[in-house]
Amino acid sequence: MASGPSSRQRWEASRPSSCSSPSTSSCSAAGSRACRTPSSPATRRSGPPSRPRARSPSFSPSSSCSSPWGRSPSASRSATSPSPTSRSSDVATNETLTTLPDLLRPGLDVVFVGINPGETSARLGHYYANPGNAFWRLLSASSLVSRPVGPTDDASLAAAVPRRIGFTDVVKRVETDSTKVTPSEVRASVEAFRARLAGARPRAVCFTGGRQFDALFPGVRPRNGWGRQPVELAGAAVWVIPSTSGRAAAYRPQIATVLEALAQSLDGAVAA
């Protein structure tokens, strides 16, 4: 039977709905095969559309970038602020943790000074106790100590030989992410920190990061980057090493070099 208008209407009713025209070359005349029009998104993928891929935030220079210590490893992470919900949760968690006590006493050879206690250290009750922190491995490899030491040795090192070692932080608030400790919070803690340190009067102070030095000596440009600095604190020689956190692994050779120089300085082997 010859095709008439009624046949065309039946063909139109039976063809796949995804074909936009009977003249589309990729659809069969009988409508038995699915339309394969490349420009139709519905025929290229089934299911819900995929979410757009998030763009990585570009780094914007901030005040921390102008520090003579260089860009902090922790600053290389996304600068996106945490949501109010996560921030509230962090505060609630930290309020239940007791900060680390100052391990200070008169007669110390050197005091290591962090920016603030991390949550892992506060929970375990020892300085630099996070497994990812290289402080104790680096200290053990230096001649500052006579044997391998770990977090649980922190209190006993105050009476150790050959060098008596103490520990404290500038800011006593517990916070795992030290970038959440603001510059204003560090500056507000400086006076109390100076008072605590004055009671111990150690021979040397070693900051485990440049932020602490910048807060205590604003406007003083560090000499030779890391190592001995051209200032004193409560009569103590001031030294600075990079952060020993896991995010700063690239700095470990410099840390090892400075710790050895510090040990030799305490022994009088090199000029202070």
Position 74 confidence tier, pLDDT thresholds 50, 70, 90? very low
Task: Say what the pLDDT of residue 70 is.
Answer: 52
Type of residue numbered 41: P
Q: Please name the CATH architecture into which domain 92-266 falls.
A: 3-Layer(aba) Sandwich (3.40)
Query: 162 preceded by cis ω (within 30°)?
Result: yes
In the chain, the percentage of residues whose pLDDT exceeds 70 is 63
- Token pair in block for residue 108: 């110390």
Q: Rounded CA gap, 29 and 240, in Å?
A: 80
Residue 72 has pLDDT above 70, yes or no: no
In the chain, the percentage of residues whose pLDDT exceeds 90 is 50
How much is the pTM?
A: 0.66
Sorted by where each begins, the domain ranges of the chain are: 92-266
pLDDT, one tens digit per residue, over 136-166 is 999 999 999 999 999 999 999 999 988 999 9
Type of residue numbered 233: L
Average pLDDT of the chain?
75
Q: Rounded CA gap, 85 and 87, in Å?
A: 5
pLDDT, one tens digit per residue, over 83-125 is 333 333 333 344 568 899 999 999 999 999 999 999 999 999 9
